């Protein structure tokens, strides 16, 4: 069975659910069967959050098997590492270069970066996407920029992503997110 | 008339709601509980339906049953533990039967993503002798739900419609015509003394009806398209249902699969024929060996839980491992990357959560026993707040405190409960505490919302699921009306006053009720004051502020720091900080 899957990982409040909804919608518009699953922690904010989007001719399971994910979309570095068992050497990882603190614990960022560098995946795009978003005037556009980068590696035409942004986001956020998406598409050229 | 099919990605819960509407259900009631809450939240958007939250699952169940008797197709929603609360009417509604179709939607939580146990609701179908329908994805959830109303009317019985977290919360594609309705029909309120009044002389007769109905349902289970065979190309036979079906299909696309969608009573004869074709047949089912037991009782030679766990949620890896153990799968793909040792990210109360000061205060008081309840505030049990000694089920905080207080006098007892939980099953135990003179303190955290499940309104909120206003019930006045004398409201952001009040009432002999009144920081509207900041020169690095477990506070270079994006300005950290002026509003720095 030919299934492509994208695993979204991050922290509650990061916008994982919205980002994965946009990808799922784009997959549907492109004519694929698609299934999606979300895992939220117990807390409204701050817990680990993940979502899988799986698409192909026919998809049964909404969740992934370990070692089977082709793409990972990580909004935070510790969470990226928490899900490495789902990756394989052919996986491509797009990660925001940032750490969200954990209550009662100190995180050694250098060590986290070392761990990430030790991963032998096909492509690792680790970048301070939040800085890009600030350049565009809104830190909340980070995920959409990352989606733009991701889209260049997926077998889905760009136009379906723009349509999906229109379908998923409220009207007032559409234009600014379409701009952020285009920014990400351009950025992807640096990493091609 | 032209038909316009809408293709959409929806969650299992949305699909259940769409199926209910398309099945002409016009009444839905329930109590919010993950993973079931979104069903009614979606259903309420249809303008012509009645959709309402009930104070508990029993009340919601009974309201929906009443609507059914009045001739309106209806359903009740709840999570698995909610069916325990509604078990009483479930058992007897099996006897009364229904008028218009009546479906009990129950969502199990294998893996306990947000639950206190992982019971398997399928057992209730057998217990109550009612049919059980189980979809495996959103597409089926929509169609099966419509079908459930037809089954209910055909056999004059409540139908249990069982979902699981992974069915309810995963998203898949459905295609439907939003306008078409399933056989719209007019039924009227029926007065039928022998059917609906379960005094013993009537119930004795109705029990026989239930037993006969079960025989009819057994025949129906053999015929219904919900139980179907998907022929494969190899010689492997699998019997499966619900989400487990998807994992099997992905791992063994060529297997012969008996897919069970109508799982009680089981289609015994059809499965017996299916099993004959294979040397070995496996039952792959999540949680309890429910189907396995039914089949073994019928003398059918199958295997199941020998290879699969009875606890936890299934996934592709677990199902693959079980199939491997059973010798059905020969080669197994290996894991590529090993996991890292990483700090866990435990759930925490939100920044600015009004429950935080209460638990910080309770944590500081010695020789008290704190009984807790189900809600966001259950997180008060985790370190560093660590101020909760029991959590069993909704309402149990107050009732267990009564028992503990009556049984011993060494430790003072404090029960902590939220507003929604109080209305759910906390009122009766409070009456018990008053009547039986329990020496205890009840703290009712009235944030005026059912916060944990995403902010559904409750009787203290003042508006309904459909957004209509009502005069909210004041817990203080309610408690006073019971005859309790010591009832106090307090603003818990006023840390010092709250601490003094709690300490005073714990030391007072007799029953006291304290109602902290700050609303939830997330709902109904987000409350945010100016963010705070730490004055680095004054911070001594004592870490007292870290003990309130606020996600906005971090510790770097031996000083506390506050994330101004997360901080809501609730000032609890400022109140617990021993240094005057070390935590101040951001712009005054």
For residue B379, the chain A residues in CB contact (below 8 A) are 42-43
> Is B334 within 8 Å of chain A by CB?
yes
Q: Do A78 and B171 touch (CB under 8 A)?
A: no
pLDDT of residue B177: 80
Residue from B141, B169, B348 whose CB has the most chain A CBs within 10 Å, to mutate: B348
Degrees, nearest 5: CA angle B573-B577-B580: 120
pLDDT of residue B529: 81
Q: How confident is the model at residue A42 (pLDDT cuts 50, 70, 90)?
A: low
Q: How far apart are CA B240 and CA B249, in angstroms?
A: 10
Owner of token pair 């807390």:
A43
For residue B315, the chain A residues in CB contact (below 8 A) are 61, 63, 65
The secondary structure of residue B376, as a DSSP letter, is: G
> Is B554 within 8 Å of chain A by CB?
yes
pLDDT tens for each residue of B98-110: 999 999 999 999 9
Q: Do A84 and B337 touch (CB under 8 A)?
A: yes
Helix axes B200-223, B138-155, angle to 10 degrees: 130
Q: How confident is the model at residue B522 (pLDDT cuts 50, 70, 90)?
A: confident
| Range of weakest confidence among A26-30, A47-51, B241-245, B422-426 | A47-51
Interface list for B 89-118 with A (CB within 8 A): 113-114
- What pTM does this model have? 0.94
pLDDT tens for each residue of B144-189: 999 999 999 999 999 999 999 999 999 999 998 876 666 666 788 9
pLDDT of residue B77: 98
What mean pLDDT is reported for chain B? 94
pLDDT tens for each residue of B246-283: 999 999 999 999 999 999 999 999 999 999 999 999 99
pLDDT tens for each residue of B324-351: 999 999 876 667 789 999 998 888 899 9
For residue A106, the chain B residues in CB contact (below 8 A) are 555-556
CB-CB neighbours of A150 under 10 Å: 25
Cβ distance A84 to B386 under 8 Å? Answer: no
The side-by-side arrangement of strands in the sheet containing B50-53 is B50-53, B27-30, B74-79, B102-108, B159-164, B132-133, B262-264
Q: How confident is the model at residue A45 (pLDDT cuts 50, 70, 90)?
A: low
For residue B247, the chain A residues in CB contact (below 8 A) are 60-61
pLDDT tens for each residue of B445-504: 999 999 988 899 999 999 999 999 999 999 999 999 999 999 999 999 999 999 999 999
Q: How far apart are CA B447 and CA B470, in angstroms?
A: 17
Calculate how close chain A gets to B451, using CA atoms only, in Å: 9
> Is B171 within 8 Å of chain A by CB?
yes
> Is B343 within 8 Å of chain A by CB?
yes
> Is A157 within 8 Å of chain B by CB?
no
pLDDT tens for each residue of A74-127: 999 999 999 999 999 999 999 999 999 888 788 999 999 999 999 999 999 999
> Is A82 within 8 Å of chain B by CB?
yes
Largest Cα separation within chain A, whole Å, is 46
pLDDT tens for each residue of B356-409: 999 999 999 999 999 999 999 999 999 999 999 999 999 999 999 999 999 999
> Is B522 within 8 Å of chain A by CB?
yes
Smallest Cα–Cα separation from B28: which of B45, B9, B10, B3?
B45
Task: Tell me how many helices (H) and strands (E) chain B has.
Answer: 21, 22
The secondary structure of residue A87, as a DSSP letter, is: -
Calculate how close chain A gets to B243, using CA atoms only, in Å: 8
**Model ipTM value:** 0.94
Question: Which residue stretches of B440-510 are H helix?
Answer: 475-481, 495-507
pLDDT of residue B1: 44
3-state secondary structure B212-250: HHHHHHHHHHHHCCCCEEECCCCCCEEEEEHHHHHHHHH
Q: Do B550 and A36 touch (CB under 8 A)?
A: no
For residue A182, which phi and psi values (nearest 5 degrees)? -60, -40
């Amino acid at each position: 069975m030919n299934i492509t899957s994208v695993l979204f990982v991050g922290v509650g409040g990061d916008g994982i659910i919205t980002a994965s909804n946009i990808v799922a919608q784009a997959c549907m518009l492109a004519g694929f069967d698609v299934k999606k699953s979300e895992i939220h922690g117990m807390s409204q904010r701050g817990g680990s959050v993940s979502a899988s989007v799986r698409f192909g001719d026919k998809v049964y399971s909404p969740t992934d098997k370990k070692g089977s994910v082709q793409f990972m979309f990580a909004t935070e570095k510790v969470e990226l590492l928490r899900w490495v068992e789902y990756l394989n050497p052919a996986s491509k990882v797009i990660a925001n270069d940032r750490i969200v603190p954990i209550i009662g614990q100190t995180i050694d960022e250098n060590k986290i970066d070392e761990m990430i560098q030790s991963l032998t995946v096909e492509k690792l795009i680790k970048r301070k996407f939040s800085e890009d978003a600030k350049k565009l005037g809104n830190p909340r556009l980070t995920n959409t920029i990352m989606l733009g980068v991701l889209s260049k590696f997926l077998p889905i035409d760009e136009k379906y992503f723009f349509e999906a942004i229109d379908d998923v986001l409220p009207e007032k956020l559409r234009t600014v997110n379409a701009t952020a998406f285009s920014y990400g598409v351009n950025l992807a050229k640096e990493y091609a | 008339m032209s038909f316009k099919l809408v293709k959409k990605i929806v969650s299992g819960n949305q699909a259940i709601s769409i199926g209910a509407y398309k099945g002409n259900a016009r009444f839905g009631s329930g109590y919010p509980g993950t993973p079931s809450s979104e069903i009614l939240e979606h259903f309420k958007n249809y303008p012509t339906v009645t959709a309402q939250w009930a104070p508990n699952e029993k009340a919601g169940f009974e309201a929906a049953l009443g609507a059914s008797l009045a001739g309106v197709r209806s359903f009740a929603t709840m999570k698995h533990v909610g069916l325990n609360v509604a078990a009483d009417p479930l058992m007897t509604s099996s006897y009364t039967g229904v008028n218009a179709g009546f479906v009990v939607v129950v969502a199990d939580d294998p893996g306990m993503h947000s639950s206190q146990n992982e019971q398997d609701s399928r057992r209730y179908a057998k217990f109550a002798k009612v049919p059980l329908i189980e979809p495996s994805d959103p597409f089926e959830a929509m169609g099966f739900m419509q079908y459930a109303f037809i089954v209910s009317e055909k056999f004059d019985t409540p139908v249990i419609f069982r979902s699981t977290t992974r069915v309810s919360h995963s998203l898949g594609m459905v295609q439907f015509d939003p306008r078409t309705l399933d056989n719209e029909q007019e039924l009227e309120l029926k007065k039928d003394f022998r059917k609906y009044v379960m005094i013993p002389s009537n119930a004795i007769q109705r029990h026989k009806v239930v037993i006969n109905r079960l025989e009819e349902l057994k025949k129906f289970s053999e015929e219904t398209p919900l139980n179907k065979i998907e022929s494969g190309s190899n010689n492997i036979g699998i019997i499966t249902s619900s989400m487990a079906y998807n994992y099997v299909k992905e791992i063994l696309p060529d297997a012969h699969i008996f897919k069970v969608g109508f799982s009680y009573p089981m289609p015994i004869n059809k499965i017996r024929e299916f099993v004959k074709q294979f040397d070995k047949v496996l039952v792959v089912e999540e949680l309890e060996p429910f189907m396995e037991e039914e089949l073994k009782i019928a003398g059918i030679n199958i295997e199941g839980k020998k290879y699969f766990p009875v606890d936890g949620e299934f996934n592709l890896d677990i199902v693959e491992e079980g199939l491997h153990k059973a010798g059905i799968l020969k080669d197994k793909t290996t894991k590529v990357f090993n996991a890292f040792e990483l700090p866990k990210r435990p759930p925490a109360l939100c920044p600015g959560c009004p429950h935080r000061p209460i638990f910080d205060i309770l944590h500081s008081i010695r020789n008290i026993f704190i009984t807790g309840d189900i809600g966001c505030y259950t997180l008060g049990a985790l370190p560093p707040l660590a101020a909760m000694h029991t959590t069993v089920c909704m309402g149990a905080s107050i009732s267990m405190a009564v028992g503990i207080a009556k049984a011993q006098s060494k430790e003072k007892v404090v029960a902590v409960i939220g507003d929604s939980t109080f209305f759910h099953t906390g009122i009766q135990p409070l009456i018990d505490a008053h009547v039986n003179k329990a020496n205890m303190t009840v703290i009712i955290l009235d944030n005026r919302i059912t916060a944990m499940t995403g902010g559904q309104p409750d009787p203290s909120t003042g508006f309904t699921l459909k957004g209509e206003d009502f005069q909210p019930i004041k817990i203080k006045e309610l408690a006073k009306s019971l005859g309790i004398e010591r009832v106090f409201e307090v603003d818990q952001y006023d840390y010092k006053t709250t601490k003094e009040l709690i300490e005073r009432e714990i030391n007072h002999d007799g029953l006291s009720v304290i109602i902290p009144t700050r609303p939830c920081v997330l709902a109904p509207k987000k409350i945010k004051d100016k963010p705070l900041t730490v004055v680095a020169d004054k911070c001594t690095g004592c870490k007292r502020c870290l003990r309130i477990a606020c996600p906005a506070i971090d510790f770097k270079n031996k000083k506390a720091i506050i994330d101004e994006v997360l901080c809501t300005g609730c000032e609890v950290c400022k109140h617990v900080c021993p240094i005057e002026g070390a935590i101040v509003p951001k712009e005054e720095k």
